[in-house]
């Protein structure tokens, strides 16, 4: 395996230590993203793997599954990580670009930042494909801190990454997390569908098929845009209006 650059690695795990020491403080990122003891263990494992994020992915094959991220391979071979943990590590790597894109919308105050369905559906996807979506976000924060740890001050006995660079990153991610709370999507993975696939097929008068999964995504996006509504009629009509796009016959 290629070896990652670890010159800024300590910025990541020192940041996690800093966050852990702020447990119980109002607005604590740690309290929001590390909810239980298993997540605490997972957070330190992810911090240990942050240097691998800088390495490029292996070339995907022309056919078949994508190769595992190098961080996943390192954890599987290095510490014999469980399959469940490897799933989270893989998801944290693969979902990081979408997390950064949503964070960019918040940072730039893009008008799309108000789209509750955009953020809610993303969180549901992060959770569905790997689990522990909050730990995945924490990984992105630690990688960001490590990559931007260019404010370094030297003391006689040690080298310490400057608080200024770290705090700037944490403030940005804090605003992102506050926005998720404002949109009320932190618990998006637990939202129950107001209609299942077979009920949707019956309402449309068609047979179940491959169209059902993307159609149900449309229903969920509608739910996120219309919190509190329990009548699926409007969601069904939205699916019906997009039947050609979905290949419903």
Closest CA to 163 of 47, 6, 14: 14
Q: Quick one: pLDDT at residue 161?
A: 54
pLDDT digits (tens, 9 = 90+) for 136-176: 999 999 999 999 986 544 344 444 555 678 889 999 999 99
What residues contact 78, with CB distance under 8 A and at least 6 apart?
none
The larger pLDDT score, comparing residue 37 to residue 145, is at 145
The larger pLDDT score, comparing residue 158 to residue 239, is at 239
Burial of 68 (0-12, 13-18, 19+ CB in 10 A): middle
Closest CA to 197 of 242, 150, 235: 235
Cα–Cα distance, 78 to 53 (Å, whole number): 16
pTM metric for this prediction: 0.89
Q: What are phi and psi of 24, to 5 degrees?
A: 90, -15
Q: Quick one: pLDDT at residue 157?
A: 45
What residues contact 25, with CB distance under 8 A and at least 6 apart?
31
Closest CA to 105 of 179, 29, 168: 179
What residues contact 63, with CB distance under 8 A and at least 6 apart?
none
Q: Quick one: pLDDT at residue 154?
A: 39
Q: Quick one: pLDDT at residue 66?
A: 83
Q: Are 90 and 81 in contact (CB under 8 A)?
A: no
Mean pLDDT over 204-227 rounds to 90
Mean pLDDT over 204-210 rounds to 86
């Amino acid at each position: 395996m290629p070896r990652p650059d670890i010159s800024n690695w300590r910025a990541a795990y020192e940041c996690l230590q800093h966050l852990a020491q702020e447990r119980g403080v109002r607005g604590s990122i740690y309290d929001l993203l590390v909810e239980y003891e298993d997540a605490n263990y997972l957070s330190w494992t992810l911090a240990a793997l942050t240097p691998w994020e800088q390495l490029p992915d292996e070339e995907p094959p022309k056919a078949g599954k994508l190769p595992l991220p190098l961080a996943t391979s390192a954890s599987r071979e290095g510490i014999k990580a469980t399959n469940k943990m490897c799933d989270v590590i893989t998801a944290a790597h693969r979902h990081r670009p979408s997390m950064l894109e949503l964070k960019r919308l918040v940072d730039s105050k893009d008008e799309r930042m108000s789209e509750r369905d955009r953020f809610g559906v993303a969180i549901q996807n992060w959770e569905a494909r790997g689990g522990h979506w909050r730990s995945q976000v924490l990984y992105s924060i630690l990688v960001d801190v490590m990559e931007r740890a260019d404010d370094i001050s030297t003391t006689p006995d040690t080298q310490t990454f400057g608080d200024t660079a770290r705090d700037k990153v944490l403030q940005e991610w804090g605003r992102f997390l506050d926005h998720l709370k404002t949109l009320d999507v932190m618990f998006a993975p637990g939202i129950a569908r107001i209609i299942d696939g077979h009920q949707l097929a019956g309402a449309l008068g068609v047979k179940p098929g491959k169209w059902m999964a993307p159609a149900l995504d449309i229903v969920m996006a509608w739910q996120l845009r219309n919190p509190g509504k329990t009548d699926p009629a409007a969601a069904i009509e939205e699916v019906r209006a997009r039947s050609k796009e979905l290949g419903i016959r």
